[in-house]
Structure 1
């Protein structure tokens, strides 16, 4: 065994990830926060790596942190090594698990993407949750989630990658027998062929259901923004629920109206009204930028790209 092989014995994937994170941030506090470790723990691990390499990888001074020539030389190989380790683990795993949050279990588009993924990659195991976009962001940053579906307006982070999927039509949902449903051709059985519609401003005097602020604030902001563009501030129903289905049940009971994605099934006692001008909600997919090269994320993106256009 040569000297290089002996030194490499103490280097593992975690040390490489710590090195690469610090090389990107060039700041121990920010890198430690991103890694969810204490600053002393990060410093100790970097020192451990430097001992294994045999050279300082970072220069520390009052002006900050910089890569040494050895660190600059080590950087591309560290990236390649970590990518190779992840690819090897993915290839060797008999049943890889992809952790995906679908925002709300009642929403059709993410369910269709997950179904397509299962069809295209039958050996893959999925751990699917529906905890909302606020939880998604926290779990992605903590490494407890691989990808999520949300609105394009969801809170981002420089460590996360968010890409648009499609714009899905949005309709106004009212209780069956509501006066707005009496507008000629406004009640939509076949939305694409119905000649009539109502304006969102026609619902200015209604009480709107909006989700809890910690569940899907991007949807709340979308609804509020469209109402304001229509010239009114909506009265907000004082109760929030955990899903789109339970919110629609409130509409069926006559307590409120709401906006809904066109693909969301409606319960008995509600009527879907097409809006003019049309409204469309921007769907997005989000994952941690460090996971972008993972095959499972690529497969999920391919499934989303195949399914998304049918909801636009």
Structure 2
């Protein structure tokens, strides 16, 4: 008896079942929308792989052999299971999209537009607060998409991810309302005004080292001190409490949601830029991802998010990463 194959292609079983039910090769071929020659070839191949004759053929009729009768109920069960599996996966699972933190405009706008473009997809928002933390979850299969500074990720993380550049977001500083710089007339604040200040930029937060690294590069060029690590605050209330207690200015982006008893001032001369990309796991195929990418392209073009200001500041590694992802 010949050795049985390790597996059998479902296509061959489907050909067998069609002929077994029709007992006619021409009708079975029409049912499967294939040529009769291709159908006959698949049946013969299945017979060779099983080492059994499945049909008795004559010029007048086709009948099942005893082996064919034995195979038929098993083949039907295998094909039913395959059809059930395919039906489940045709209904795309929810896509988990990290927006970093509630209130940030960039990711929220892209997600909202993607939901309009793909109303049948379930796009679920998550808030992981930092691309590094999100990237680890993406690679572990516990999250699908995030936003942030791709060049700031460890190369080992980047190697498993894809990106689509989305925005050069201008930075700002959040000042306690009683800070001397907050008393200046409402206007953009020159970066040089922060020289000698200690500014908080997430130092010590394991989920946001890409943001702290970007801040450190900016601060080193302008004589700004990086505030030491603080207790990791979870939730808006805790963040506001810790920041209020500490009293340091906070490096942020221009669309950062308002905090009580603070003022937000965009930074200029130069305009520091936070590069934002849409980031996902390599090889991910999902209609929701396609909608997110289309939404990102639409909004980025309409808002001019990838136009860099003439006085924009951006590290060379980020310029290179954004060009590579374009």
Q: Shorter chain as normaliser: what TM range?
A: 0.5 to 0.7
Q: Give the unaligned 5+ runs of structure 1.
A: 12-53, 55-84, 189-195
Q: Indicate which of 68, 92, 106 corresponds to 2:90.
A: 92
Distance 1:96-1:267 versus aligned 2 partners, 3 A rule = same
Max radius of gyration: which structure?
Answer: 2
Alignment of 1:60-71 (within 5 A): none
Following superposition, the deviation at residue 10 of structure 1 comes to 11
Aligned to 1:123: 120
* DSSP-derived class of the 1:124 partner: coil
Distance 1:227-1:245 versus aligned 2 partners, 3 A rule = farther
TM value normalised by structure 1:
0.62
Q: Indicate which of 297, 300, 310 corresponds to 2:289.
A: 297
Following superposition, the deviation at residue 200 of structure 1 comes to 4.3
Name the Cα RMSD after superposition.
3.2
Following superposition, the deviation at residue 247 of structure 1 comes to 3.7
CA contact (8 A) 2:205 2:232 kept: no
Aligned to 2:136: 138
Aligned to 1:42: none
Aligned to 2:73: none
Q: Give the unaligned 5+ runs of structure 2.
A: 13-48, 50-82, 306-326
* DSSP-derived class of the 1:149 partner: strand
Instruction: Verify: 1:283 aligned to 2:276, yes or no.
Output: yes
Following superposition, the deviation at residue 261 of structure 1 comes to 1.1
Distance 1:250-1:198 versus aligned 2 partners, 3 A rule = farther
Following superposition, the deviation at residue 296 of structure 1 comes to 2.2
Q: Indicate which of 95, 101, 106 corresponds to 1:104.
A: 101
TM value normalised by structure 2:
0.59
Distance 1:239-1:92 versus aligned 2 partners, 3 A rule = closer
Aligned residues: 224
Q: Deviations over 1:193-237 (max 9, x none)?
A: xxx533245342335252543121111111111111113432325
Distance 1:96-1:216 versus aligned 2 partners, 3 A rule = same
Distance 1:261-1:247 versus aligned 2 partners, 3 A rule = farther
Separation (CA, whole Å) in 2 of partners of 1:259 and 1:90: 46
* DSSP-derived class of the 1:274 partner: strand
Separation (CA, whole Å) in 2 of partners of 1:242 and 1:307: 30
Task: Give every structure 1 segment of 4 or more consecutive aligned residues whose post-TM-superposition deviation is greater than 4 Å.
Answer: 88-91, 243-246, 248-254
* DSSP-derived class of the 1:273 partner: strand
CA contact (8 A) 2:98 2:147 kept: yes
Following superposition, the deviation at residue 144 of structure 1 comes to 2.5
